[in-house]
Chain A
């Protein structure tokens, strides 16, 4: 197992380099550069263009592409992701400060989706054809069709404005940093972010469970005189879990993408919100780093999916 993980990580490296190249290329093509940001727009006219050029030379902004790329790559390996064009703060620091918020949100959404989705999906399968099943199916259909941010907006309208159960946005108020005290800020964003994943997991675990319950080993289990709950929940469920785990692994990138939008809706101070602002203001270093890290997370999660699959299904050979 350990060998497998190490090998997979090693295989990642050429991928990461290729991707870093693409990111660097892409962001390099974005209009504007460091010097443009150092000068406020209204002062631009009074600055000597020759001096600007000299500055560019000095900062190495006119060096050939590959030189700049390699320099950038070298910096990254040392943990230096450059400085935010907006605030001058090292990007790494910025991201590190915002990361916990996004992680909190994403992990909460992931847990909610996995638990609720699987639970509801299994219930749906066991009660196939009943009112419960049909109602859940309808819920699932709406859940995958509704734009996530719209759901968030509706949640805000109902639970924040109408019922006033939850605060309107943000992550906490000063003085209540303790996790359980600020749970009410987390509830709506996490539920919203997890919505489409929950619906997807629910649908998939329902069909996976139905598939499993149709198999021959279910009949064998009954023929041994086992009680129904054991037939369904030990034999049926256990086999149904593997495809669902794989699905969740594949949908993790969506969770990251979703965070970008949801953080905006709820004014959640995370990396996603930072990314949107950076894109709007063409804050290249920030955009680059966030893009790079999001890809890293996606690649790591694909390795995780392989590991989890191997753990869940003894037939899978890690080769």
Chain B
């Protein structure tokens, strides 16, 4: 197996939110790696902490929050940079943003500034990280738009976001994110706001880019169908913790954690036919301010026992580096 080069490593990351005079422990110790040329899908329900993770990597957490513990490390041409220690919005992290690590957001309509043309916003990215002139940047923007499949780019580059269609807007966002050829692309639910047919196109585009540029991609989604399509590696999140991770084959083919299995059983998957048996997951996600003491999924888990309710399971690893945060992992894992 060819050596997978890690470009970004998150280790035991804890993030707390301090809004409404309360303390919400949004991330409780997550660890994962992003590797060159591979897509990691972070999947989980709303509120599990997927977006928080992405924001933490980019150091874009809101004012009333902070990293409590853990590290985020980025390898830039062999040099190790600890992202968590960089000055907030300081020159170092800004040099990385856009040029090494780029991000695209869920709703391109609100993510793009309505009063500036798309070209202006793309030029900003280019001119910020290089010494291009406005003319050169515009030329490059036009070619980027062409690459992303936006028709009539010479005109479009001067138009405003509201004049684009939804799919085109997302392509423009991707064009903007890719402008400086980043090594890592973080995509936070990039197609949730789009039609399913457009979704397929966007993903195809992203895959092509990943292959061509040997880029590491982190794709955040709540849709297991997307995971099945796009993932090389998978990390399943629940209540601020990664409860299962591994390659796509491992996690999807051999779901070990009860939550992962439950997720796969509760949603229809395109292609599996109409006689799929759907089982909704019993119970609801706990109140973040009122968490169960042990495993967060225990109250809803049919395999849970005394130990599960009182102790937080650590990360267990199978022989194949398939991580499961469950005391029962050995029984539940059917690996060959």
> Which residues of A are interface residues toward B (Cβ below 8 A)?
215-217, 219-228, 235, 238-239, 242, 312-315
With A219-B60, A220-B105, A315-B162 known as contacts, the answer to whether A225 contacts B115 (CB < 8 A) is no
The complex places the Cα of A124 from the Cα of B98 at a distance, in Å, of: 30
User: What residues of B have a CB within 8 angstroms of the CB of A315 in the complex?
Assistant: 114-115, 160, 162
B90-130 CB mask vs A (1 if < 8 Å, else 0) is 00011111110011010100111111100000001100110
The main secondary structure of chain A at its interface with chain B is helix
From the candidates A215, A220, A225, A239, name the one contacting B95 in the complex (CB within 8 A).
A225
Contact, CB under 8 Å: A223 / B160: no
10 CB-based A-B contacts, threshold 8 Å = A216-B105, A217-B113, A219-B105, A223-B58, A223-B60, A224-B124, A224-B125, A227-B94, A314-B160, A315-B160
The residue in chain B whose Cβ has the minimal distance to the Cβ of A241 is B115
> Which residues of B are interface residues toward A (Cβ below 8 A)?
58, 60, 89, 93-99, 102-103, 105, 107, 110-116, 124-125, 128-129, 160, 162, 176
The complex places the Cα of A312 from the Cα of B162 at a distance, in Å, of: 15
User: What residues of B have a CB within 8 angstroms of the CB of A312 in the complex?
Assistant: 115
User: What residues of A have a CB within 8 angstroms of the CB of B58 in the complex?
Assistant: 223
Contact, CB under 8 Å: A222 / B60: yes
The residue in chain A whose Cβ has the minimal distance to the Cβ of B114 is A315
Contacts A222-B89, A225-B129 supplied; 16 other A-B pairs, CB < 8 Å? A217-B113, A217-B114, A219-B60, A220-B105, A222-B60, A224-B97, A225-B96, A225-B99, A227-B89, A227-B94, A228-B89, A242-B115, A313-B115, A314-B114, A314-B115, A314-B162
User: What residues of B have a CB within 8 angstroms of the CB of A217 in the complex?
Assistant: 110-114
User: What residues of B have a CB within 8 angstroms of the CB of A239 in the complex?
Assistant: 113-115
User: What residues of A have a CB within 8 angstroms of the CB of B107 in the complex?
Assistant: 216
The complex places the Cα of A225 from the Cα of B180 at a distance, in Å, of: 11
Contact, CB under 8 Å: B128 / A238: no
User: What residues of B have a CB within 8 angstroms of the CB of A224 in the complex?
Assistant: 97-98, 124-125, 128, 176
The complex places the Cα of A226 from the Cα of B127 at a distance, in Å, of: 10
The complex places the Cα of A220 from the Cα of B113 at a distance, in Å, of: 9
In this complex, the member of B60, B105, B115, B129 whose beta carbon has the largest number of chain A beta carbons within 10 angstroms is B115
CB distance from A278 to the nearest CB of B (A): 46
The complex places the Cα of A227 from the Cα of B91 at a distance, in Å, of: 8
Contact, CB under 8 Å: B128 / A226: yes
The complex places the Cα of A315 from the Cα of B99 at a distance, in Å, of: 30
With A219-B60, A220-B111, A239-B115 known as contacts, the answer to whether A226 contacts B160 (CB < 8 A) is no
From the candidates A215, A219, A223, A235, name the one contacting B98 in the complex (CB within 8 A).
A223
CB distance from A229 to the nearest CB of B (A): 10
User: What residues of A have a CB within 8 angstroms of the CB of B95 in the complex?
Assistant: 225
User: What residues of A have a CB within 8 angstroms of the CB of B103 in the complex?
Assistant: 223
CB distance from B47 to the nearest CB of A (A): 18
User: What residues of B have a CB within 8 angstroms of the CB of A227 in the complex?
Assistant: 89, 94
User: What residues of A have a CB within 8 angstroms of the CB of B110 in the complex?
Assistant: 215-217
Contact, CB under 8 Å: B96 / A238: no
CB distance from A153 to the nearest CB of B (A): 43
CB distance from A138 to the nearest CB of B (A): 24
User: What residues of A have a CB within 8 angstroms of the CB of B176 in the complex?
Assistant: 224
The residue in chain A whose Cβ has the minimal distance to the Cβ of B129 is A225
Contact, CB under 8 Å: B128 / A225: yes
Contact, CB under 8 Å: B97 / A223: yes
The complex places the Cα of A316 from the Cα of B114 at a distance, in Å, of: 11
User: What residues of A have a CB within 8 angstroms of the CB of B116 in the complex?
Assistant: 235, 238
The residue in chain B whose Cβ has the minimal distance to the Cβ of A219 is B60
Contact, CB under 8 Å: B128 / A219: no
User: What residues of A have a CB within 8 angstroms of the CB of B93 in the complex?
Assistant: 225
The complex places the Cα of A292 from the Cα of B98 at a distance, in Å, of: 58
Contact, CB under 8 Å: B124 / A216: no
User: What residues of A have a CB within 8 angstroms of the CB of B113 in the complex?
Assistant: 217, 220-221, 235, 238-239
User: What residues of A have a CB within 8 angstroms of the CB of B102 in the complex?
Assistant: 223
User: What residues of A have a CB within 8 angstroms of the CB of B114 in the complex?
Assistant: 217, 239, 313-315
Contact, CB under 8 Å: B160 / A216: no
User: What residues of A have a CB within 8 angstroms of the CB of B125 in the complex?
Assistant: 224-225
The complex places the Cα of A315 from the Cα of B162 at a distance, in Å, of: 7
The residue in chain B whose Cβ has the minimal distance to the Cβ of A242 is B115
Contact, CB under 8 Å: A238 / B98: no
User: What residues of B have a CB within 8 angstroms of the CB of A220 in the complex?
Assistant: 105, 111-113
The complex places the Cα of A239 from the Cα of B113 at a distance, in Å, of: 8
Contact, CB under 8 Å: A219 / B111: yes
User: What residues of B have a CB within 8 angstroms of the CB of A313 in the complex?
Assistant: 114-115
The complex places the Cα of A225 from the Cα of B125 at a distance, in Å, of: 8
User: What residues of B have a CB within 8 angstroms of the CB of A219 in the complex?
Assistant: 60, 105, 111
CB distance from A128 to the nearest CB of B (A): 10
CB distance from A307 to the nearest CB of B (A): 16
The residue in chain B whose Cβ has the minimal distance to the Cβ of A223 is B103
Contact, CB under 8 Å: A225 / B105: no
User: What residues of A have a CB within 8 angstroms of the CB of B115 in the complex?
Assistant: 238-239, 242, 312-315
The complex places the Cα of A226 from the Cα of B180 at a distance, in Å, of: 13
User: What residues of A have a CB within 8 angstroms of the CB of B98 in the complex?
Assistant: 223-225
CB distance from B50 to the nearest CB of A (A): 16
The residue in chain B whose Cβ has the minimal distance to the Cβ of A212 is B113
The residue in chain B whose Cβ has the minimal distance to the Cβ of A225 is B97
The complex places the Cα of A225 from the Cα of B60 at a distance, in Å, of: 11
Contact, CB under 8 Å: B94 / A226: yes
The complex places the Cα of A216 from the Cα of B129 at a distance, in Å, of: 22
